[in-house]
């Protein structure tokens, strides 16, 4: 099985960081998932959000391959 909906983690982490500016926010995502919304990295940089991103490189699109 997959870890969750692909592409959701980074935007959700950004929202969580804005809602809780003093919290440690970590996005754990596969490489294909992060690529679906990599453009949101510019949002994190623009607003100087210290979101941490942990990328799991499993070399295939887990949720796509699963179905």
pLDDT in tens, 7-64: 899 999 999 999 999 999 999 988 888 999 999 999 999 999 999 999 988 777 766 6
Give the per-residue pLDDT at 62.
62
Go through 37-58 and write b for each residue having 16 or more CB atoms within 10 A of its CB, e for each that does not.
Answer: beebeeebeeeebebebeeeee
Residue 4 in this model has a pLDDT that exceeds 70: no
Question: Could you tell me which residue, 55 or 4, shows the higher pLDDT?
Answer: 55
Give the per-residue pLDDT at 32.
87
Dihedral sign of CA atoms 20, 12, 30, 55 in order: negative
Q: From the CB of residue 18, how many other CB atoms can be counted at a distance below 10 Å?
A: 14
């Amino acid at each position: 099985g997959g870890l969750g909906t692909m592409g959701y983690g980074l935007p959700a982490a950004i929202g969580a960081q804005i809602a809780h500016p003093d919290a440690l926010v970590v996005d754990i995502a596969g490489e294909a998932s992060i690529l679906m919304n990599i453009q949101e990295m510019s949002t994190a940089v623009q607003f100087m959000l210290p979101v941490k991103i942990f990328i799991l490189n499993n070399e295939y699109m887990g949720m796509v391959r699963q179905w």
